[in-house]
Structure 1
Amino acid sequence: MIEIQAEGLVKSFDLEKKILDGLTFQIDQGERVGLLGKNGAGKTTLFKILTGEMDYDAGSVTIGQGRRMGLISQIPVYPEGFTVEDVLRTAFSRLQALAEEMEQLTARMAAGESGSEVLRRYGQLSERFEAFGGYDTDVAVNKVANGLSITRDMRSQLFESLSGGEKTRVNLGRLILEDTDILLLDEPTNHLDLHATEWLEDYISQFHGTVVAISHDRYFLDRVVKRVIEIENGKAEFYSGNYSFYAIEKERRYQERMRQYQKEQAKIEQLQEAADKLHLWAFMGNDALHKRAFSMEKRIERMRTTDKPTKVRKMDARFASTEFFGDEVLELKNVCKSFGEKTLFSNLNLKVEGGERIALIGDNGTGKSTLIKLIMGELYPDDGRIKTGPSVRAAYLPQIIHFENPQRNLVDTMLYAKKNITPQSARNRLAAYDFRGEDVFKSVSVLSGGEQSRLRLCMLMDEEINFLILDEPTNHLDIASREWIEEAVEAFDGTLLFVSHDRYFINRFATRIWELEGGTIRDYPMGFARYRSAKAEEQKTAPRHETPRPEEKAERPVRGNKAQAAARKQLVICEREIARSEEAIAALDREMEAAACDYEALGELLGKKEEAQAELEALYEKWEALSEEAQA
Structure 2
Amino acid sequence: MADISVQNLTKYYGDKLILQDITFDVQPGEKVAILGANGAGKTTLLHILTGRLPYDSGHVSIGQGRTAGVIDQMPDFPTESTVEDILRLAFHESDEIIAAMDELTDEMTRRPDDDSLLRRYALLETRLDALGGYNRDYEIDRVCNGLEIPAEMRAQRFALLSGGEKTRINLARIILEQTDVLLLDEPTNHLDMDAVDWLGRYLEGYRGTVLIISHDRWFIDQCCDRVIEIHDCTCDFYSGNYSYYAVERERRREEQLKHHEHELAEKKRLEAVARIMHEHGTEHLAKRAASIEKRIARMTVTDRPKKDKKMTVTFGDPNYETEDVLKVRDITKSYDGREILHDINFQIRNRERVALLGANGAGKTTLLKLLLGEEQADTGVIRKGVGLKPAYLPQQVYFANPQRNLIDTLIYDKNVSMQVARNRLGSFQFTGEQQMKTVSMLSGGEKSRLRLCELMYDPLNFLILDEPTNHLDLASREWIEEAVEAFDGTLLFVSHDRYFVERFATRVLYLEDGRLIDFIGSYSAFLDWRAKGGGALPAADPAPIPKKQKPAAPTLDDVPPPPAKPKRTGGTKNLQKQLNTLEREIAQLETQSAGLEQQMIQASSDSARLLELMGEKETCDEALTAKMDEWEAVAAELEELQ
Question: Common fold, TM-score beyond 0.5?
Answer: yes
Structure 1's 184 and 262: CA in aligned 2 closer, same or farther, altered over 3 A?
Answer: same
Cα deviation for residue 445 of structure 1 reads: 4.3
Residue 244 of structure 1 corresponds to which residue in structure 2? 243
Residue 177 of structure 1 corresponds to which residue in structure 2? 176
1:475 aligns to 2:455 (yes or no): no
* 327-336 vs 452-461, greater mean Cα deviation: 452-461
- Opposite residue 177 of structure 1, the aligned amino acid is L
What's the secondary structure of 2:134's corresponding residue? helix
What's the secondary structure of 2:260's corresponding residue? helix
Residue 397 of structure 2 corresponds to which residue in structure 1? 401
Counting only pairs closer than 5 Å after superposition, residues 432-581 of structure 1 correspond to structure 2 as 432-538=427-533
How many Å separate the matches in 1 of 2:138 and 2:43? 33
CA deviation digits over 1:487-536, x for unaligned, max 9?
22223221111111222222221111111001110111122232222222
Cα deviation for residue 77 of structure 1 reads: 4.0
- Opposite residue 456 of structure 2, the aligned amino acid is M
- Opposite residue 397 of structure 1, the aligned amino acid is L
Verify the 8 A CA contact 1:392 1:467 in the aligned structure 2.
yes
- Opposite residue 139 of structure 1, the aligned amino acid is Y
Residue 353 of structure 1 corresponds to which residue in structure 2? 349
Verify the 8 A CA contact 2:424 2:453 in the aligned structure 1.
yes
Residue 209 of structure 1 corresponds to which residue in structure 2? 208
1:231 aligns to 2:230 (yes or no): yes
How many Å separate the matches in 1 of 2:564 and 2:91? 48
Cα deviation for residue 74 of structure 1 reads: 3.6
How many Å separate the matches in 2 of 1:541 and 1:429? 47
How many Å separate the matches in 2 of 1:280 and 1:584? 58
* 349-358 vs 299-308, greater mean Cα deviation: 299-308
Cα deviation for residue 457 of structure 1 reads: 2.6
How many Å separate the matches in 2 of 1:436 and 1:584? 29
Residue 563 of structure 2 corresponds to which residue in structure 1? 595
Cα deviation for residue 57 of structure 1 reads: 0.8
Verify the 8 A CA contact 1:9 1:21 in the aligned structure 2.
yes
What's the secondary structure of 1:334's corresponding residue? strand
1:76 aligns to 2:69 (yes or no): no
Counting only pairs closer than 5 Å after superposition, residues 156-175 of structure 1 correspond to structure 2 as 156-175=155-174
Structure 1's 242 and 122: CA in aligned 2 closer, same or farther, altered over 3 A?
Answer: closer
Structure 1's 236 and 594: CA in aligned 2 closer, same or farther, altered over 3 A?
Answer: closer
Aligned Cα RMSD in Å? 3.3
Residue 277 of structure 1 corresponds to which residue in structure 2? 276
Counting only pairs closer than 5 Å after superposition, residues 95-494 of structure 1 correspond to structure 2 as 95-98=94-97, 105=103, 114=110, 128-129=127-128, 131-133=130-132, 135-281=134-280, 292-316=288-312, 318-321=314-317, 323-406=319-402, 408-418=404-414, 420-494=415-489
Verify the 8 A CA contact 1:322 1:465 in the aligned structure 2.
no
How many Å separate the matches in 2 of 1:519 and 1:371? 11
1:3 aligns to 2:3 (yes or no): yes
How many Å separate the matches in 1 of 2:452 and 2:416? 16
Verify the 8 A CA contact 1:355 1:495 in the aligned structure 2.
yes
How many Å separate the matches in 2 of 1:169 and 1:527? 29
How many Å separate the matches in 1 of 2:47 and 2:400? 35
- Opposite residue 257 of structure 1, the aligned amino acid is Q
What's the secondary structure of 1:390's corresponding residue? coil
Verify the 8 A CA contact 1:325 1:391 in the aligned structure 2.
no
Structure 1's 433 and 13: CA in aligned 2 closer, same or farther, altered over 3 A?
Answer: farther
* 493-502 vs 227-236, greater mean Cα deviation: 227-236
Verify the 8 A CA contact 2:35 2:230 in the aligned structure 1.
yes
How many Å separate the matches in 1 of 2:275 and 2:87? 75
CA deviation digits over 1:96-118, x for unaligned, max 9?
44456678x59x969x9956799
CA deviation digits over 1:141-198, x for unaligned, max 9?
1111110111122223333443333332222212211121111222222322221111
How many Å separate the matches in 2 of 1:158 and 1:415? 51
What's the secondary structure of 2:321's corresponding residue? coil
How many Å separate the matches in 1 of 2:344 and 2:520? 16
- Opposite residue 5 of structure 2, the aligned amino acid is Q
Structure 1's 329 and 253: CA in aligned 2 closer, same or farther, altered over 3 A?
Answer: same
Cα deviation for residue 67 of structure 1 reads: 0.9
Q: Note the residue ranges of structure 2 that are not aligned, 5 or more in a row.
A: 538-550, 567-642
How many Å separate the matches in 2 of 1:258 and 1:584? 27
How many Å separate the matches in 1 of 2:463 and 2:146? 33
- Opposite residue 364 of structure 2, the aligned amino acid is K
Cα deviation for residue 470 of structure 1 reads: 0.9
Verify the 8 A CA contact 1:415 1:421 in the aligned structure 2.
yes
Cα deviation for residue 85 of structure 1 reads: 2.4
What's the secondary structure of 1:523's corresponding residue? strand
Residue 574 of structure 2 corresponds to which residue in structure 1? none
Structure 1's 491 and 57: CA in aligned 2 closer, same or farther, altered over 3 A?
Answer: same
What's the secondary structure of 1:154's corresponding residue? helix
Verify the 8 A CA contact 1:331 1:387 in the aligned structure 2.
yes
* 176-185 vs 322-331, greater mean Cα deviation: 322-331
Identity, % of aligned pairs? 49
Residue 603 of structure 1 corresponds to which residue in structure 2? none
What's the secondary structure of 1:55's corresponding residue? coil
Structure 1's 323 and 230: CA in aligned 2 closer, same or farther, altered over 3 A?
Answer: same
- Opposite residue 508 of structure 1, the aligned amino acid is R
CA deviation digits over 1:251-272, x for unaligned, max 9?
2222222222222122111111
How many Å separate the matches in 2 of 1:63 and 1:430? 47
Verify the 8 A CA contact 2:326 2:384 in the aligned structure 1.
yes
Cα deviation for residue 287 of structure 1 reads: 8.2
- Opposite residue 349 of structure 2, the aligned amino acid is E
Verify the 8 A CA contact 2:247 2:562 in the aligned structure 1.
no
Cα deviation for residue 446 of structure 1 reads: 4.7
What's the secondary structure of 2:491's corresponding residue? strand
- Opposite residue 327 of structure 2, the aligned amino acid is E
Structure 1's 525 and 137: CA in aligned 2 closer, same or farther, altered over 3 A?
Answer: same
Q: Note the residue ranges of structure 1 that are not aligned, 5 or more in a row.
A: 543-582, 599-632
What's the secondary structure of 1:216's corresponding residue? coil
Cα deviation for residue 246 of structure 1 reads: 1.5
- Opposite residue 386 of structure 1, the aligned amino acid is I
- Opposite residue 39 of structure 2, the aligned amino acid is G
- Opposite residue 10 of structure 1, the aligned amino acid is T
Residue 62 of structure 1 corresponds to which residue in structure 2? 61
What's the secondary structure of 2:135's corresponding residue? helix
Verify the 8 A CA contact 1:24 1:235 in the aligned structure 2.
no
What's the secondary structure of 1:135's corresponding residue? coil
- Opposite residue 357 of structure 2, the aligned amino acid is I
Aligned length, in residue pairs:
550
How many Å separate the matches in 1 of 2:447 and 2:162? 20
Verify the 8 A CA contact 2:244 2:559 in the aligned structure 1.
no
Verify the 8 A CA contact 1:330 1:351 in the aligned structure 2.
yes
Cα deviation for residue 467 of structure 1 reads: 0.4
